[in-house]
Chains A and B, each alone.
Chain A
Amino acid sequence: MDFKPLLLWSDILLWAMVAGCVALAFYCRRQDYLRRAWRRVGESGVAMSSATILAAFVSVGLLDSLHYQPRLPAQEGSTEAQYAPEVLSALDALVADLRLNKEKTYSAPLATHAFAKETMERDGVQTRDYPRLKWGGAHLEDVAGRDSDLARRAASGAFYGLLLWAAVVGVAVGLMALARGAPYGATCRTVWQPGTAATRPIAWRAVFATLAVLSVIGGITAAWAAGYHVFGTDKVGQDVLYLSLKSVRTALLIGTLTTLVTLPLAVALGLIAGFRGGWWDDAIQYLYTVLNSIPGVLLIAAMVLMMQVVIDTHPEWFETAAERADARLLALCFILGLTSWTGLCRLLRAETLKLRELDYVQAARAFGVGDARIMARHILPNLMHIVLIALVMDFSGLVLSEAVLSYIGIGVDSSMNSFGTMINAARLELSREPVVWWSLAAAFVLMLALVLAANLFADAVRDAFDPRFQWRARRVVKKVAA
């Protein structure tokens, strides 16, 4: 084999989360009220196009979560396979051009020449000039042809993007026609027609329109990236597009894995406090009041500092640098989870207090059903919508807080690509002359797209599941920014 697959802990957890989401989807299909609520999400065009954009981010993140170690060229006399200490992912393999073709230092987006002048020898005379880049536009014989080359590439990229889009949409509509047992043409028409209140179809039109935009953008970017640095290069000459793509996984991990800690704590403690009452309730309320009264960012800082000491004093736990960075990321998720479960716990406790007085719970109790069973069968399903809304709403806040925490120096490992480390590395670049703006701009655009899509999707989910309940913006960022 040319490579050795390597599962980092975060990969395992992320794929387990994907499996969990699939299981949740099946659960929702079976429950009538959940299915109806999801249908309401599906009817909203904004929600569906946000979901499409989120899905695009998730697929980048998942590609980046298939890790492996490449095989080193065999050494003479050794039959044993040697693997590189460097850990790569499927995404790295896909965009190997971007990863490997580094420049010396900064270069502007789509530039052909470096950003800084260098002393060069030309015809025996020493001159200072901007040198040509090693990769960006290196295929051009005459740099004056760059614009027409870019236009040509953009046109063909957009064309292939649309071609791919047409194929995907065609197959998708075909599958829908099969599932409904309707003829292909009729399915096309129903998908294309705007929904009326009576028919209430899922907003496929929004999905396909968003897909079209994404594939055109993706096609053009891919076509340009084959010959240029689309977002320029950073201080050490790394391609900024590559760095931003790698950052997506970190953002997704922080936004999702944190819930693995938040959920069990909040659900279990909230249920017990609300249902059992008495000193269980007092103890749990005390616990979350204490945790809540420490300002979020300070608690996170204290915990992260302590975690750093643990990691630094036990270097023997980690074989590769990637594993250490991974452990740090997981620890950060754990810490964010430990500090952010209190809000959800309080909501669930209050709701349980209400539910346990309802007739059907009383009836179950009168029949002699045990506490644990009542909680699991009769109360928990009725809390599901709150849990779901809280999960979706927390995501964007967590992504934003990662950037802030990394800036303060208590975020992810500095060797790990994330939007926070990108911004942190680039924050002094605006004071350079001329301004180096592209790293910040790339981080800005991608973060805005991700967080905006997540926010819009979360709003739609909230409206569909529980329009009356007031969802205060309970967000980690709020605490962080204060």
Chain B
Amino acid sequence: MIAYIIRRLLYAIPILIGVNLITFLLFFVVNSPDDIARMQLGAKRVTPEAIEKWKAERGYDKPMVWNAAAPGVAKATDTILFDKSVRMFALDFGRADDGRDIALEIKSRMGPSLAIAIPTFILGLFVTVSFALLLVFFRNTALDVGGVVLCVAAMSISGLFYIIGGQYLVSKVWNLVPISGYSGGLDAGKFLILPVLISVVGGIGASARWYRTLFLEEINKDYVRTARAKGLSELRVLFRHVLKNAMIPILTGVVVVIPLLFMGSLLLESFFGIPGLGSYTIDAIGSQDFAVVRSMVFIGSVLYIIGLLLTDISYTLVDPRVRLN
């Protein structure tokens, strides 16, 4: 098991190098730092000196990959590639355009992001699985058909409408919770309840339908017939047998996203004004802060790779047939 994990971690290294190279190509080769400086300074203030100053402030005035002028090892390290890309492996992300340290900012914004993401994840999984089981329990009845129609309709609505509609109804018309904002501690509950509810409701459609097909596939198998023949009640069959076996494909989709919960939700956080990583990313995209976007891309891929590893490990835990070798 440990050998497997170590091997998987080693596999992750070339992938991360690939991600790093792609971001480097995207951010420094597609457009030269000069182009970016020109665009960010705006048409009026572009002078060669201003561009040089802008580049020097951000450390973009170095050579791309090879600094022939520097002594010794610095030939390779005193470059944009090393400074901006390789350093990310040590979780050193440098500074954002407003001068703040990105790593510190990420650390302080993780809390609010997780405060939404974790309840959403747990509640969402619970609600969708129960809803799907309910549909399966009433399979081949009007309730099942109605539920599926509802699911298809629900997944055809853009997530934006769930947020806008939910905010309007709950916060404005019914006046139950504040429209947006955030505060630490226990007070946070009243700010979090609406975004959590909205994203759970918005996610039901697609996942419940998918889980329903998984359950239906299991329900026609021999072991389920055997369980019924033994005289087990339908509920017991569903929960003890079908659910357990259908958990395996569900896990693939679910465990991968657990590490990504750190990244927060772009839409929810920006609509509800929650100072998490999602709104940090959106703000960075809006103000074209490339250093932040680059860091988030890297962190996102690291978390995704961790998620894949967790998925494989969780397989062995739920399915004894799977051997990790």
User: Mask for A450-461, Cβ within 8 A of B = 1, else 0?
Assistant: 011001100100
B1-52, CB < 8 A from A: 14-15, 18-19, 22-23, 26-27, 30-31, 35-36, 38-39
Q: Do A295 and B301 touch across chains, with their CB atoms under 8 A apart?
A: yes
What band does the interface of chain B fall in when counting residues whose beta carbon is under 8 Å from A?
Answer: 35 or more
The yes or no answer to A198 lying at the interface (CB within 8 A) is: no
Given contacts A404-B267, A444-B161, contact A290 B152 (CB under 8 A): no
User: Mask for A286-312, Cβ within 8 A of B = 1, else 0?
Assistant: 110111111101110111011011101
Interface centre among A286, A297, A472 (most CB of B within 10 A): A297
Given contacts A286-B15, A294-B22, A448-B156, contact A302 B210 (CB under 8 A): no
Expressed in whole angstroms, the Cα–Cα distance for A419 and B38 within the complex equals 32
The yes or no answer to A410 lying at the interface (CB within 8 A) is: yes
The yes or no answer to B310 lying at the interface (CB within 8 A) is: no
B252-311, CB < 8 A from A: 253, 257, 260, 263, 265-267, 270, 281-282, 285-286, 288, 290, 293-294, 296-297, 300-301, 304-305, 308
Interface centre among A286, A306, A473, A475 (most CB of B within 10 A): A306
Q: How far is the CB of B35 from chain A (nearest CB, A)?
A: 5
Given contacts A295-B301, A302-B294, contact A477 B159 (CB under 8 A): yes
User: Mask for A404-440, Cβ within 8 A of B = 1, else 0?
Assistant: 1001111000000001000100010011000100001
Interface centre among A310, A407, A431, A448 (most CB of B within 10 A): A407
Interface centre among B281, B285, B288 (most CB of A within 10 A): B285
Which among B27, B36, B293 is the interface contact of A298 at CB below 8 angstroms?
B293
Residues of B within 8 A of A114 (CB): none
Residues of A within 8 A of B281 (CB): 298, 301
The yes or no answer to A211 lying at the interface (CB within 8 A) is: no
Q: Do B267 and A481 touch across chains, with their CB atoms under 8 A apart?
A: yes
The yes or no answer to B206 lying at the interface (CB within 8 A) is: yes
Q: Do A403 and B301 touch across chains, with their CB atoms under 8 A apart?
A: no
Residues of B within 8 A of A400 (CB): 158-159
Which among A313, A427, A459 is the interface contact of B152 at CB below 8 angstroms?
A459
Given contacts A404-B159, A408-B282, A477-B159, contact A295 B263 (CB under 8 A): yes
User: Mask for A266-278, Cβ within 8 A of B = 1, else 0?
Assistant: 0000000000000
The yes or no answer to B70 lying at the interface (CB within 8 A) is: no
A-side interface mostly: helix
Q: Do A310 and B31 touch across chains, with their CB atoms under 8 A apart?
A: yes
Which among A286, A293, A298, A423 is the interface contact of B296 at CB below 8 angstroms?
A298
22 contacts between A and B (CB under 8 A): A286-B14, A294-B297, A294-B300, A295-B304, A298-B296, A308-B288, A309-B30, A309-B31, A310-B30, A310-B35, A313-B38, A404-B158, A423-B160, A430-B167, A440-B164, A444-B157, A447-B158, A448-B153, A448-B156, A448-B157, A455-B155, A481-B265
Chain B residues at the A interface, C-beta cutoff of 8 Å: 14-15, 18-19, 22-23, 26-27, 30-31, 35-36, 38-39, 152-153, 155-161, 164, 167-168, 172, 179, 202-203, 206, 209-210, 213, 253, 257, 260, 263, 265-267, 270, 281-282, 285-286, 288, 290, 293-294, 296-297, 300-301, 304-305, 308
Extra inter-chain contacts (19) besides given A294-B304, A448-B153, CB under 8 Å: A287-B18, A294-B22, A295-B297, A297-B266, A306-B30, A308-B39, A309-B39, A407-B160, A407-B267, A408-B266, A423-B161, A423-B164, A427-B160, A431-B179, A447-B157, A452-B156, A473-B155, A473-B210, A482-B257
Q: Which 5 A-B pairs have the closest CB atoms?
A: A290-B18, A295-B300, A452-B156, A451-B156, A293-B301
Chain A residues at the B interface, C-beta cutoff of 8 Å: 286-287, 289-295, 297-299, 301-303, 305-306, 308-310, 312-313, 396, 400, 403-404, 407-410, 419, 423, 427, 430-431, 435, 440, 444, 447-448, 451-452, 455-456, 459, 470, 472-473, 475, 477-478, 480-482
